[in-house]
Structure 1
Amino acid sequence: MTRDASYPKPATLAAVVRKGRVLLIRRAHMPDAERWAFPGGKIEPGETLTAASARELAEETGVLATPGDVFDAVDVIDADHNLHYVLIAVLCRWERGEPVPDDDALEAAWFTLEEMAAIPVAETFNVRAIAQIALELERKQQEHSRSQNAHLPDST
């Protein structure tokens, strides 16, 4: 990430939900080094927000997911390191892969909200609140899908 804070830089975070858990990485670099956060990073020129979410997720964890809706945004301002990012949260549907950390991550793992209470999360990234929203959105999507399927005729 560039260190010019003359204007905010757009970046993405991939909120992947699977079986009531969210995928987090333990950050290797500042800001919030060694704290848990969502995978994500800067959006390359000409790259869409959703493409950046999928790319960053795959690069940082090896997990493949389909990006869906944008559901939140967080300002990350670190005056000590001359940084200002606007992180845009994208709900992603897990497709395949188990998390394996890359150079930007010390670890990568799935967590419930309860498990997150016992780990140091990156407070500047609003991790707990974003995780709660992502889990709720996923739950609502599953309920909607089940109700739609309940109205389909039996194919047997």
Structure 2
Amino acid sequence: MMQPKLGAIAVVHHAGRFLLVKRKNEPNANTWGFPGGHVELGETALEAAVRELAEETGVVGTAERYLTNVDAITFAEDGSVRFHYLLAVVVCTYRSGTPVAADDVSDAGWFTAKETATLHQSPNVQKIIEELDV
């Protein structure tokens, strides 16, 4: 039986831009979103966001606070659930590094809020940017 999974995403806003990655794998393959992934057993979502940020982009950040939670549920055509995640959205402060696509992403880069609106995005990206209100 499928169970929901806990994930964390790192929202990094630096020098007027957001750090986004292009996903290689489902769910949301070939869409732009925030770096992130599964929370490991014994790890907080704050720790997971910082770890995933480094693994996927090479960027070092510090977790500052939780912004919100996002229910990420993908349904198949027959109505069954394909993927179900509860994502802890973690605001992170940029410390160092230049984004390089690694792990399970095919691209990574910095984008203004206006530029993000033109990208093929994962669900909730624009909502999170608006909620951050920077």
The normalised TM-score by structure 2 is: 0.91
Aligned pairs (5 A) from 1:125-144: 126-134=124-132, 136=133, 139=134
In structure 1, list runs of 5 or more residues that go unmatched. Answer: 140-156
* Residue 94 (structure 1) aligns with: 94
| Post-superposition offset of 1:133 | 2.3
Q: 1:47 aligns with which of 29, 43, 48?
A: 43
The percentage of counterpart residues that share the same residue type is: 41
The correspondence of residues 69-80 of structure 1 with structure 2, limited to 5 A, is 69-80=65-76
Q: Which residue number in structure 1 is paired with residue 85 of structure 2?
A: 85
More helix by share: 1
Deviation of 1:21 after TM superposition, in Å, equals 0.9
**Aligned partners of 2:45, 2:74: CA distance in 1, in Å?**
23
Task: Compare the two structures and name the one with the higher strand fraction.
Answer: 2
Q: What amino acid maps onto 2:101 in structure 1?
A: P
Contact 2:55 2:103 (8 Å CA) reproduced: no
Distance of 1:21 and 1:129 partners within structure 2? 16
Choose 1 or 2 for highest CA Rg: 1
Runs of 4 or more consecutive aligned structure 1 residues displaced over 6 Å after TM superposition? none
Q: Does 1:119 align with 2:115?
A: no
Please give the alpha-carbon distance, in whole angstroms, between the structure 1 residues aligned to 2:62 and 2:103: 23
Aligned residues: 130
2:4 — aligned with what? Answer: 8
Contact in 2 for aligned 1:28/1:103 (Cα 8 Å): no
Question: Quick check: 1:16–1:23 contact (8 Å CA) kept in 2?
Answer: yes
TM value normalised by structure 1: 0.79
